[in-house]
Structure 1
Amino acid sequence: MNSRKVVFLFWSTLLVGSITGGIVGSILNSDRLLGGGFANFFWGAVWAIGISAAFSLISQMGFFAYLTLHRFGLGIFKSVRLWNRIQMVVIAFVVFDLFYLRYAAFAEAGESIWSYMVTPVLLLIYGLVIAAIKAKDTNRQAFIQALFFIVVVTTIEWVPALTANDPKWLWIYFTPLLAANTWQLLILHRLTGSGKQEAKK
């Protein structure tokens, strides 16, 4: 992985996170953006893209932090299988906490816990799909690692918005994080030449 590829990863991730977050942010704030003329819409869209760019930078820090953690995990446990099992336990713990702790902290009287389970379940399903793609392109051992990154690392990065519990900010924050994390995960093996197709070549 040379410096040119690192620069490409940085800027492409920033672009993916900024565009996806900017689109979602503009849609969620469309009532404000469309009610004040073109200048209001323009600067509102610029704000949405800018804040999404900041969140994509958080995503990149999380990505490299996980790569470091993964190396430490392999070094400590000396076994990919054992390290993957530990990650599976952490995934289950995070998915449970993602709905239970939010329910315990923010649920109003009479509110069902089921509504708090929708987002964690959808995130888990999405993580399973992305992990399957990653494993197909690289190797089976990468499945748990990819699932851990999408579910656990994204959730950790999402914590500031989760604690605020503002529905609009939850998605403005979450969209660029998830898009940037997905992009980094699926492009890394292509840049490093560690995918199955690259190995055949």
Structure 2
Amino acid sequence: MKSRNVVRLFFSTLMVGGISTIILGFIIRWSEYQPFFSTFNIKEILSITFWLLGLGFIFSVISQMGFFAYLTVHRFGLGIFKSLWSPVQIILIVFVIFDLVYFRFQWFAQSEESILAYVLFPILIFTYGLIVAYIKKSQTNKHAFIPAMFFMVVVTTIEWIPALRANEESWLYLMLFPLLICNSYQLLALHKLIKKS
């Protein structure tokens, strides 16, 4: 890929992360920010908007680091495991989904809390990953499905670790959704930029 396309991908992903975090931030924390809108406090609204934009840029950079790290890992995986790389990725996807349920439950569950409450995020990530992987496969070829699924599930979960450690509900949503959006954007834009190059 040409360097100008790498730069284009970087800045476009940065904007996707920033704008999506602004929109999602106001939606997720509406009860907290609603008083500023009802009193037309423009100064507070602008300061929150810029804060969310900066946060979105940070999420975007984390997403991009994960994306380029995955491209490197994928090349190594193909070189080391060859035809076994797809089964290895499937095993890792299952392992990460299980860990996302089990370890979150072990670390954060209250005494009477059900494990079912900890299944929502893994199901959400897995379902979204399936949709993006299917789109990637339909736009490129059938061999792209498992790598896309691996990236959307495993790499997104690794990128999401800071919010997982905090385990505060609004932060979990606020970080996860922009990461999913940025990751899917990069994944679906990559083959188009390579074709242009």
TM-score (norm 1): 0.92
Superposed, 1:132-151 pairs within 5 Å as 132-151=134-153
Structure 2: runs of 5+ lacking an equivalent: none
Distance 2:13 2:195 in 1: 18
- Amino acid aligned to 1:6: V
Distance 1:51 1:137 in 2: 31
Structure 1 residue 22 displacement after superposition: 1.3
Superposed, 1:41-120 pairs within 5 Å as 41-79=45-83, 82-120=84-122
Q: Which residue of 2 aligns with 1:38?
A: 42
Task: Report the identity percentage.
Answer: 52
Structure 1 residue 99 displacement after superposition: 1.0
Distance 2:137 2:61 in 1: 25
How many residue pairs get matched?
Answer: 193
Deviations 1:77-136 (A, max 9, x none): 232xx1010000000000011111101111111111111101101211111111011111
- Amino acid aligned to 1:57: V
Q: Which residue of 2 aligns with 1:22?
A: 22
- Amino acid aligned to 2:118: Y
Distance 2:151 2:90 in 1: 11
Q: Which residue of 1 aligns with 2:163?
A: 161
Structure 1 residue 138 displacement after superposition: 0.8
Distance 1:139 1:60 in 2: 23
Structure 1: runs of 5+ lacking an equivalent: 195-201
Moved over 4 A (4+): none
